Structure 1
Amino acid sequence: MPVTKNTSSLSRATMIGRAVVKWGIISLVVMIVGRVLITSLVAFWKAMNPPKPEPPTVGFGILPSIVFDKTLSKSPTSYSLELPTGNFPLFSDRAKVYLYSQATPSLLADQAAKEIANRYNFVFAPEVVSDTVYRWTKSLPLVSTFEMDINTHQFQFTTDFMNRPELLAKPNLPDGFQAVQIIKQFLGSANLLSDDVATSSGDITYQKLIGRTLQPAVSVSDAEFIEVNINRAPIDDLYPMYSPQKDRGTIHAIIAGGLSGADSVVQMEYNYFPTFSSLTHTYPLRSIASAWEVLQAGEGYVVPEFSGQKAVIRTVSLGYFDDFKFQPYLQPIYVFEGDDHFVGYVPAITPEFAQRPQP
């Protein structure tokens, strides 16, 4: 009997153990499958019912309207769309707006401007053109003029390079990357190279002097000069800068192949205004269809390089308008591009948050 009893107890224990293992495995599988199922259902529900995004911050309040120089703007006789897909591309419902740093008169502005000029070897006392504009001159290596707004540090640097035929003899031009670096080093030597310019790629065009006018060279071997244009780097690496002129950057320069280093920079216009990179707010955008209506109504801006009569639009994108003159905010624009060098701009901020432009 004891043997039978022990055998029965062992059998019962074995059955219970097997049952525990069996239901434990089943419970574990149910838990895993259930968790996956619940997680998938939650994800599906969130995908079908996404939370509403936070509204744009509009922290700068009502923005002043972008000021376009309408004396430069062209007026096509008609507009037509020839987009690759036949439809407008999709854009976000909002974009960032940046505050420019506005220069103010300072007792130190005079000395700071003279230090910048001295970095470019303009060592003599300047001519005071106005309360805010100084002009320096020098005669070597070229007859040169350096005119600067002492508050904003905007400047124009010009030389008599067109009167120097020796610059055209066996020009030794740098490649495109080196040309952009020469301009950045030129600015950096006077502490005028900002981070958003230092990281910008820049654009170059090979030029040849015909008469007293620079014209695009037929080939690199035919070139005597390089035109360099640099804008600040695109916002979020997506939205590039556009200026009042189609291919002209806020930093525009000419490099001569007959000189080297900093001396090779024979012309420059510097119209860069810094922004507060950490001070930004988002604003709602008008629809692209609305922007197209504004452009057709003649209320946008068309670059002066447009050479046609009828505007045929091939692409539409979003960018930022970076003017040669100071404006309070760096604002987004819709950019329409097409045939005959057509480029048109329309302010992208919804009219609800922008002042009406002055007539």
Structure 2
Amino acid sequence: MTLHNTAVLIRRAGIGSFVGIVSILLIVILVRVGISIKNSLYPPIKDPPTQTFGVLSPIQFPKSVVDNNFTYTLRTLSGELPTDFPDRLSVFPIVKNQPNFLNLDRVKKNVASIGFVSQDGTVLPDTPLTNPFYEWNEQKDFYRKIIFNINSFDFKMTSSYLSSLTVLSAKFISNEQDAINVALYFLNLMGLTPNDIDLTKTTTQDNPEHYVTYPQLYSIKNEAQGNILVTADKLSQTQVIRVDLYQRDVEYDMNTGLTEGADQKLHLKLPILYPQLPYSTMSFWVASGPSGAMVTQAFFTHKNIDLTNADATYGIKTPEEAFAELEGGKAYIATYWGSDNNIPVTDVYLAYYLTEDTQDYLMPIYVFEGKNGFFAFVSAIQ
């Protein structure tokens, strides 16, 4: 075969390949156009959301951190609101702990395990508050006080650690990972470590998710009204480390309502957000104690979510409807440290919301994120 013949064959093969590729592209385009025309003329049959739990009470957000009259400009990557959100999302029940006569005994063991004991090792006396709350007070060292909900096992522990010489010395403060370990050990002693915690949200230093935080460093500053916490720039200046724990993203396959085709199920993975971003409702302040690092203050509220069934679906607002509520001043502003009243919205996404207050269901929200720590929530349920 001559070089001329070889060149001709190669040229013909190239032309044939080009024609084949163009033909395939044309077929794909024609199929998509055909499907689009079919769907516009004969929309796919779609069942309505199940609304398994009946009419849901609306989410009760706290008071916004600011009440400015904001204006909003879309600055998302596309310059527009998302177009690929589903028309429904699943709602999940919150597991309620039932009152039990043995709960108080269990909580007494919990507080004893973290040192609320007398010199002979017996648990300190409790003070009944409004049911179901009980209080224990320590009369030494940091003068810790802990208030327990004996039904939910949530608690708040405070102390006078800001004026403690052992805390000010920072002798046993080392680094963020050690502080995380101290917080986890504190929970483990009481047997209260949740099984749905995602530690990577806490341990990732440069986490791209702005709704989580790496442990925060603080030093103690003396003011006329008393000692206060101020942000520390480095570990050598640190006397207190704040650790927040976060629950795993909610991941499930949802029935879309379509009765035929490949889109009957939609895989979703949405984060759980809390009222005071970027913090959670499980926070621990770690500082130097008499013999080592210890938790000197803690606020712990954790809700168990029943994720076994994703079939309870509810219709949600469109992004346009949620954005209109934001513009109309009907959103909850969770955080903002800027001064400009014009907010560039850089991201819009769906999430689930958990609060410290009584809550029957895990319900979805729209999240509008902007510069200078701006986060706004709008209830997603129609």
Q: TM-score, normalised by structure 2?
A: 0.72
Contact 1:200 1:233 in 2 (8 A): no
Q: Between 322-331 and 162-171, report the one with greater CA deviation.
A: 162-171
- The answer to whether the aligner puts 1:222 opposite 2:253 as a matched pair is no
What SS class does the counterpart of residue 290 from structure 1 fall into? helix
Residues of 2 paired with 1:334 and 1:269: CA distance?
26
Are the structure 2 counterparts of residues 134 and 177 from structure 1 closer, same or farther at C-alpha, using a change threshold of 3 Å?
same
Residues of 2 paired with 1:288 and 1:259: CA distance?
53
Are the structure 2 counterparts of residues 322 and 55 from structure 1 closer, same or farther at C-alpha, using a change threshold of 3 Å?
same
Residues of 1 paired with 2:246 and 2:107: CA distance?
23
**Partner residue of 1:267?**
297
Residues of 2 paired with 1:200 and 1:282: CA distance?
29
Deviation at residue 309 of structure 1 after TM alignment: 5.0
How do residues 172-183 of structure 1 correspond to structure 2 at under 5 angstroms? 172-183=172-183
- The answer to whether the aligner puts 1:94 opposite 2:124 as a matched pair is no
**Partner residue of 1:300?**
331
**Partner residue of 2:154?**
154
- The answer to whether the aligner puts 1:282 opposite 2:339 as a matched pair is no
Residues of 2 paired with 1:152 and 1:309: CA distance?
41
Give the structure with the larger helix fraction.
1
1:272 partner letter: H
**Partner residue of 2:278?**
247
- The answer to whether the aligner puts 1:77 opposite 2:69 as a matched pair is yes
Contact 1:76 1:308 in 2 (8 A): no
Are the structure 2 counterparts of residues 164 and 60 from structure 1 closer, same or farther at C-alpha, using a change threshold of 3 Å?
same
Deviations 1:296-349 (A, max 9, x none): 111111125544351412221211111011111111111111133221100112
Contact 1:273 1:326 in 2 (8 A): no
Residues of 2 paired with 1:80 and 1:131: CA distance?
45
- Residue ranges of structure 2 left out of the alignment (5+ in a row): 1-26, 117-122, 203-212, 252-267
Deviation at residue 57 of structure 1 after TM alignment: 3.6
What SS class does the counterpart of residue 124 from structure 1 fall into? coil
What SS class does the counterpart of residue 189 from structure 1 fall into? helix
Contact 2:81 2:319 in 1 (8 A): yes
Deviation at residue 75 of structure 1 after TM alignment: 2.1
Deviation at residue 295 of structure 1 after TM alignment: 1.1
Deviation at residue 286 of structure 1 after TM alignment: 1.2
1:148 partner letter: F
**Partner residue of 1:25?**
none
What SS class does the counterpart of residue 308 from structure 1 fall into? coil
Residues of 2 paired with 1:68 and 1:239: CA distance?
19
Residues of 2 paired with 1:239 and 1:257: CA distance?
37
**Partner residue of 2:375?**
343
- Residue ranges of structure 1 left out of the alignment (5+ in a row): 1-39, 352-359
How do residues 101-180 of structure 1 correspond to structure 2 at under 5 angstroms? 101-122=95-116, 123-180=123-180
**Partner residue of 2:60?**
67
Contact 1:184 1:198 in 2 (8 A): no
Deviation at residue 198 of structure 1 after TM alignment: 5.7
Residues of 2 paired with 1:125 and 1:200: CA distance?
38
Deviation at residue 119 of structure 1 after TM alignment: 1.9
Deviation at residue 250 of structure 1 after TM alignment: 0.9
Give the number of aligned pairs.
308
Deviation at residue 114 of structure 1 after TM alignment: 1.5
Deviation at residue 234 of structure 1 after TM alignment: 1.5
